[in-house]
Amino acid sequence: MADERPIGEIIVTLESDEKHFSFADFSVTFDSTPDEILDAVSPAILEQFGVNIKEEQGDWIYTVKKVEASGNVYVFPKSPAGSTLNNQQN
């Protein structure tokens, strides 16, 4: 039983706020693909919070990160292309 992953949750970052959901809320699991997770949470995020996590062209503007140790799945905005923390030079 030591190999069992903890039952985590889906944590969605919207602006600076985190929203917590159970996997059962969306009928997905930790082992679901990132696209399956994004497809599942997208309509609920749009309806409940007015945030569209998908571009009109169909590309995701959010991404998924899975953390094995906690069993959590994080859904958060992708970084803009070319952005870095230390992007300024003096």
Q: How far apart are CA 49 and CA 18, in angstroms?
A: 12
d(C-alpha 9, C-alpha 18), whole Å: 12
For every one of its 90 residues, what pLDDT tens digit does the chain have, with 9 covering 90 and above?
Answer: 455 667 899 999 998 899 999 999 999 999 999 999 999 999 999 999 999 999 989 899 999 999 999 999 999 999 876 555 444 444
- 3 close to 67: Cβ distance less than 8 angstroms: no
Instruction: In the chain, count H helices and then E strands.
Output: 1, 4
Q: Which amino acid is at 4?
A: E
Encoded tokens for 83 = 């952005």
pTM of this prediction exceeds 0.85: no
d(CA 36, CA 81): 24
